[in-house]
Amino acid sequence: MRRAFLALGSNLGDRRALLAAAVASLDDVVAISPVYETDPVGPPGQGSYLNIAVELRTERSARELLKVAFELESEAGRRRRVRWGPRTLDVDVLWVEGETVDEPDLSVPHPRMHERGFVMVPLGDLAPELAPGWTVDSADGVYCAGELGGA
C-alpha cells in the first residue's frame, strides 16, 4: 500500500454533492481536506469552484488512478468541451508515493500543481511536506468553505 493524492473540483450543479459522491465512490480514502471555494481559472463567466484533496492508501498505480479519475468524471456527467471550462467534476492525480510518470496523457507528480493555490492549500492540509508554505493566507482567491460532509 502506498500514499496517493487526488485533487477534486466542481463548479457546475450541486458542487458539494458531486464532490461527496466522488469521494464516496473511492474505497481507499484515508483523509479528506476541508472544502475550499476558489476563483475559476480559464474562460470568463464561470462560477467559482469547490476544491478538495483526498489522500488514498492504495495499491493502484498512477495509470490506474487516472482511469478511476476519468470514471468519476464520467459518472458526474462531465463533458470536455472547452479547455479549463466549467465542469461538474474535475479529478487530477497529484502524487503517488514512489512513482514518477512523464507521458503525453499523464504526468505524476502533477506538473502544474505548485502553481495552483486551489490544489496546494487542500493538499497542504493533508500532506504539509508536499506543499510547504501554502496556506489560505498565501493563496489568492482560495477561501475555506467548511468540511465536505456526506462522504
pTM for the whole structure: 0.91
Per-residue pLDDT tens for 101-124? Answer: 999 999 999 988 888 889 999 999
Would you state the cell numbers that stand for residue 38, as one nine-digit string? 476558489
Catalytic residue list:
78, 87, 90, 92
- Residue 99 phi, psi (nearest 5): -130, 135
State how far the Cα of 42 lies from the Cα of 86, in Å rounded to an integer: 8
How many percent of the chain have pLDDT more than 70? Answer: 91
More confident residue, 88 or 53: 53
Helix boundaries (H) for the chain: 15-25, 62-75, 117-126
Taking all residues of the chain, what is their mean pLDDT, rounded to a whole number?
A: 89
* CB-CB contact of 33 with 142 (8 Å): no
Per-residue pLDDT tens for 30-82? Answer: 999 999 998 887 666 788 999 999 999 999 999 999 999 999 988 887 665 65
